């Protein structure tokens, strides 16, 4: 390794030591110190490969952080650890990604870049709320979908909201969750995931066909089914990639997913006018769609990438058949 490269690695270890217990965030560090971002990322990856740095939790607006491992802390505390010319140790290389074989090469677990789809979905939801289209034309009504063949309602309902509090909480959840899931799956796959989860949530609503105490069919609106799909997908992503994640990050993400799913479950069966069917259907659709999305995400083979997307879309198709099953005499088990 060249002397200049070694000096940068040493400087980064020193910076992590000085910042401790706070992580070093590459975007802010690169801007503050005028370091080329690509060179910085390569240096951080080198230190992580050597077992001297580990990733920390993803932070909204800051991105992925880095902090010293036990081996890294031991190195910087040596008398000659950070002196010029001191050799950098190599503790243990991370396990290779399961799709890193002769035909494919590893893609980064996290995709750097702006959360364009997440912010775009928020903008569309807010714009639709401000314009206030007639809910009777776009909300989810089982009979209108099945008997009047108004299939667009399977998607349009997910961009409607019943009031300020409804859209505020859903959009805040999307603002918090969307950039994380988009960094994991990529922008295009996030859009597929959102739409597939919206459709699967709608299909479970149609299958159950709940009525209010007066016997009227309940109209359903809101993005919460799609958001539940995104949340469930986050949990599946952690499960599929856990061995390649820092233990603290994997545990933190798993814990957040579990807590949020429990809270959503409690709200679904406690508060009136909350569609537990949409939440359940969205979560199931998002979880199932994550498996083909995993294949599409971590490969450089275009056929496999396309087949993964098609597989995710087919999940929505299977749920549409489930919704049609209500008229074929297939009853829900709940």
pLDDT at 101: 40
Same domain for 126 and 68: no
Same domain as 309, residue 187: yes
Between 75 and 244, residue with greater pLDDT = 75
pTM of the model as a whole: 0.69
The pLDDT assigned to 106 comes to 42
- Domains held by the chain: number: 2
Other CB atoms within 10 A of residue 118 CB: 24
Residue-level pLDDT at 107: 53
**Tens digit of each residue's pLDDT (9 = 90 or more) over 168-182:** 999 999 999 999 999
- Does the residue 53 lie in any domain? yes
Same domain for 265 and 174 = yes
Considering the domain architecture, whether residues 220 and 141 belong to the same structural domain is answered as yes
Residues written for the chain = 334
| CATH number of the structural domain spanning residue 45 | 1.10.10.10
Question: Is 101 a member of any domain?
Answer: no
Q: Classify residue 146: in a domain, yes or no.
A: yes
- pLDDT band at 84, cuts 50/70/90? very low
Quick one: 59 and 170 in the same domain?
no
- Of all residues in the chain, the percent with pLDDT exceeding 70 is 80
Give the pLDDT confidence score for residue 209 in this predicted structure: 77
Judgement on whether residues 271 and 161 belong to the same structural domain of the protein: yes
Judge if 45 and 184 occupy the same domain: no
Report percent pLDDT > 90 for the chain. Answer: 39
Residue whose C-alpha is closest to residue 94's, from 238, 247, 255, 235: 247
pLDDT tops 80 at residue 80: no
Average pLDDT over residues 66-77: 86
Q: What is the pLDDT of residues 2-51, one digit of tens each?
A: 434 677 888 899 899 899 888 999 888 988 888 888 888 888 988 988 88
Point out the domain boundary residue: 18, 44, 76: 76
Looking at the structure, tell me whether residues 71 and 121 fall in a common domain.
no
Position 135 in a domain:
yes
Beta bridge partners of 66: 24, 55
Q: Does 106 fall in a domain?
A: no
- Choice between 215 and 124, residue whose per-residue pLDDT is larger: 124
What local confidence, expressed as pLDDT, does residue 85 receive?
47
Residue that is last in its domain, among 76, 108, 138: 76
Do 139 and 219 share a domain, yes or no?
yes
pLDDT in tens, 187-224: 999 999 999 999 999 999 988 876 555 556 678 899 99
What average pLDDT score do residues 100-114 get? 52
Q: How far apart are CA 52 and CA 33, in angstroms?
A: 21
Task: Indicate which CATH number applies to the domain containing 175.
Answer: 1.20.1540.10
Residue 98 in this model has a pLDDT that exceeds 60 = no
Domain that holds residue 187: 116-324
Note whether 46 and 163 are same-domain residues. no
Residue 93 lies in a domain: no
**Alpha-carbon span 26 to 177, nearest angstrom:** 21
Both 320 and 183 in one domain: the answer is yes
The reply to whether 196 and 308 lie within a common domain is yes
Q: Is residue 82 in a domain? A: no
Last residue of a domain, one of 51, 76, 101: 76
Res 121: pLDDT: 97
């Amino acid at each position: 390794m060249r002397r200049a490269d070694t000096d940068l690695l040493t400087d980064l270890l020193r910076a992590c030591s000085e910042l401790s217990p706070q992580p070093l965030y590459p975007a802010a560090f690169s801007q503050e110190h005028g370091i080329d971002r690509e060179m910085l990322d390569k240096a951080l990856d080198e230190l992580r490969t050597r077992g001297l740095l580990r990733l920390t939790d993803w932070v909204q607006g800051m991105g992925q952080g880095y902090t010293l491992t036990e081996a890294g802390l031991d190195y910087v505390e040596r008398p000659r650890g950070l002196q010029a010319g001191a050799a950098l140790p190599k503790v243990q290389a991370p396990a290779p990604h399961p799709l890193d074989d002769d035909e494919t090469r590893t893609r980064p677990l996290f995709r750097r870049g702006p959360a364009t789809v997440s912010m775009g979905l928020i903008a569309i939801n807010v714009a639709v709320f401000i314009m206030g289209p007639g809910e009777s034309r776009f909300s989810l009504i089982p009979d209108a979908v099945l008997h009047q063949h108004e299939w667009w309602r399977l998607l349009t309902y997910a961009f409607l909201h019943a009031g300020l509090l409804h859209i505020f909480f859903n959009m805040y959840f999307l603002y918090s969750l969307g950039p994380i899931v988009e960094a994991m799956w990529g922008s295009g796959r996030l859009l597929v995931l959102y739409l597939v989860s919206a459709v699967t949530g709608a299909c479970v609503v149609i299958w159950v066909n709940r009525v209010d105490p007066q016997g009227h069919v309940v109209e359903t609106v809101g993005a919460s089914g799609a958001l539940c799909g995104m949340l469930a997908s986050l949990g599946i992503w952690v499960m599929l990639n856990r061995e390649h994640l820092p233990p603290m990050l994997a545990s933190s993400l798993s814990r957040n997913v579990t807590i949020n799913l429990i809270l959503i479950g409690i709200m679904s069966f406690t508060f009136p006018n909350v569609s537990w069917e949409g939440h359940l259907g969205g979560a199931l659709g998002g979880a199932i769609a994550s498996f083909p999305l995993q294949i599409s995400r971590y490969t450089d083979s275009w056929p496999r990438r396309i087949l993964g997307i098609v597989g995710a879309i087919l999940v929505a198709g299977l749920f549409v058949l489930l919704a049609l099953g209500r008229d074929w005499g297939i009853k829900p088990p709940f």
